[in-house]
Amino acid sequence: MFMNEQMESILATAARLIVEEGMEWGGAKRQALADLDLPSRTPLPDNMQLEVAVRAHIDLFCPDTQVAAMRALLHAARDAMRTMAAHNPYLTGALWRGLATEKSDIFIQLFCEDAKLAEIDLINQGVRFETTEVNGFRGQSVVALTTLVRIPKWTWPTGIHWVLYDVDDLRGALKPARGRRDGLADRGDLPAVERMLSAFE
């Protein structure tokens, strides 16, 4: 398999896994290698390449259902962000990039004065969550709180992952993402999400 053909196969396979299985991008790339029987050290596409492939897959296979899913998930994200407005919530991930489907989870980063207060807020709201550690956007280990919400008309729960950062981490976090030609940052605040939702109404 020639290198360009190999990369195209990895991109197409990873895009399918993301759209149809709801896999995270890093996991989808690695699973694509396994599905294609390629060595684990095979060079992987970057996220900008994968974003193009995901958009192409959506446009080809599920443009109508994807628009409905975006609308439903943005409603849920907006409502969730409103409940945690005191902790500087920012939407990120596939939903922020306009690439979410019915299988996608919601990723919200909280830039907190005190991360413990964010946990207490969820507890006081009666929201149950599980705590894990994930790699942060600067490579550091950060705490993530995972909760579940029900989207109207969907028979399965959708995960919301609240990733906790210090308020100082917000510095520089709103600059356009590296390598992006459209100038889009990797995250958006509540007003940005509300504007995005209005475009889907």
Helix, strand, coil % (nearest 5) of the chain? 50, 20, 30
User: What was the pLDDT predicted at 185?
Assistant: 86
Token output for 148: 């579940």
SS3 call for 119 = helix
- pLDDT at position 3 over 60: no
Instruction: Break the chain into its structural domains and give their ranges.
Output: 3-61, 64-200
Q: Across all residues in the chain, what is the average pLDDT?
A: 92
Token output for 47: 């996220």
CATH number of 64-200: 3.30.460
- pLDDT at position 200 over 90: no
pTM of the model: 0.90
SS3 call for 167 = helix
Give alpha helix (H) positions in 22-175.
Answer: 25-35, 47-61, 63-83, 93-96, 115-124
| 132-150: pLDDT as tens digits | 999 888 888 999 999 999 9
